[in-house]
Amino acid sequence: QVQLAESGGGSVQPGGSLKLSCVASGGYFAAYDMAWYRHVPEKERELVAQILSSGTINYIDDVKGRFTISKDNAASTVYLQMNSLKPEDTAVYYCNFKRWFGEYWGQGTQVTVSE
């Protein structure tokens, strides 16, 4: 059983930066495909960035060049560095760990971008 705990959300002005962290406990960290999703009310949860166990990294077009996903296997932590934030980045951000037998979600952390 894997437990995930996100942190790092908050309120920033447009153009600002935040760094989200997701600490995992349990399981073999390096074997998981990891991702950050975001959700706003009345919309489906959206994949933002993923870092696969192979090391492959993918981003949605909207965040390319602004967001960076990374991980620290020794610390069992995956990060999302978010720069040049826009109001449309406002959402609850969730980390997700996935393997062939299932997936796990964190509780979410709110990111609000406004003047």
Residue 50 phi, psi (nearest 5) = -140, 150
Query: Is the C-alpha dihedral spanning 6, 71, 50, 8 positive or negative?
Result: positive
Structure confidence at residue 19 (pLDDT): 98
Each of the 115 residues of the chain gets a pLDDT tens digit; together they read: 889 999 999 999 999 999 999 999 987 888 899 999 999 999 999 999 999 999 999 999 999 999 999 999 999 999 999 999 999 999 999 999 999 889 999 999 999 999 9
Among 46, 80, 78, which Cα is nearest to 62's? Answer: 46
Which amino acid type is present at position 91? A
Question: CA angle, corner 67, sides to 34 and 78, nearest 5?
Answer: 30
Q: What is the 3-state secondary structure (H, E, C) of 70-115?
A: EEECCCCEEEEEECCCCHHHCEEEEEEEEECCEEEECCCEEEEECC
